[in-house]
Amino acid sequence: MDDVELGMQWEPERPHILVVACSDGRLQEATDAFLARALGVRQYDRLYVPGGGGALSASGREFIRAGQLRAECRFLVDAHHVDHLVLLFHGPAADGPAESTCADYRRKQSWAHADHIRGQQEADVRDLLTRRSEFAAEPLRKGVLVRTADGEQFSFDRAVISADTLTGIGFQQRTVVLADGQPSVEEIATEVRLPLEKIVSLQQRRRDWGRTAKWGLGAAGAAAFVIAVGTNSADEPPANPGGGRGPGPEL
Ligand SMILES: [Zn+2]
């Protein structure tokens, strides 16, 4: 076996963005163009699988496979501290060739017309909305340390993360000046509801506040998109193989 030296440096920093997209290599340029133009995403972790985001949904028949892939996605979200999860589906543009329909959907529904498959993809997004914790983030987190954009810091024994809010009993430390003029740190427990957009970091709390591990918000920023591919128009420049359609529903 030959070794190939690339002379490239190892990049230790993770992108904290995970894209689930179809394996079809003909979509690679369209996928990258869509992510860059629509979302400003250029560096991302990949879960490429036939069907893209649709592979996480059974579409009424692939229950075991979809469950395993949701678990695989969930592993990446946790292990790579993913903050944003993007699920991509693809299909033909309005005037695109029927053959650009996703092969995985054609396998699952060989009898179906492109319009029907598009409807199934939308149904699959609705299905995924109901099972977000299976592939994205556990809604309940224990022992978390949160910093907000306003500079506040909260410690939670238990916090529940919904699609847009973190709630829990938060402990906030503040320094007060005692009657004798000495400063003292006191801890206040308050019921906290924080919009996720205000949270700048979410960390796992260890024994002391100094040692923490960064945690992603999981699917806090998850969204699903359909890339509409191809055109039958001969006037279309070949350098523009497709366009994104989105933003899709927030998961
Ligand atoms: Zn496909």
Task: Tell me which CATH code domain 17-137+220-245 carries.
Answer: 3.40.1050
Predicted local distance difference test score (pLDDT) of residue 251: 57
Positions of the chain with pLDDT lower than 70, given as ranges: 138-139, 163, 204-224, 226-251
Handedness of CA 183, 188, 194, 200 (dihedral sign): positive
The share of the chain scoring above pLDDT 70, in percent, equals 80
Task: Tell me which CATH code domain 140-215 carries.
Answer: 2.30.30
pLDDT tens column, 166-196 = 888 888 777 778 788 888 777 778 888 888 7
Q: How many A from CA of 56 to the centre of ligand 1? A: 13
Contact 44/35 with Cβ under 8 angstroms?
Answer: yes
Q: How many A from CA of 92 to the centre of ligand 1? A: 11
Contact 125/224 with Cβ under 8 angstroms?
Answer: yes
- What one-character-per-residue DSSP string does 70-84 give? HHHHHHHHHHTT-SE
Q: How many A from CA of 101 to the centre of ligand 1? A: 7
Q: How many A from CA of 20 to the centre of ligand 1? A: 11
Domains 17-137+220-245 and 140-215 equal at CATH topology level: no
Q: How many A from CA of 176 to the centre of ligand 1? A: 60
Contact 148/200 with Cβ under 8 angstroms?
Answer: yes
Parse the chain into domains and list their residue ranges. 17-137+220-245, 140-215
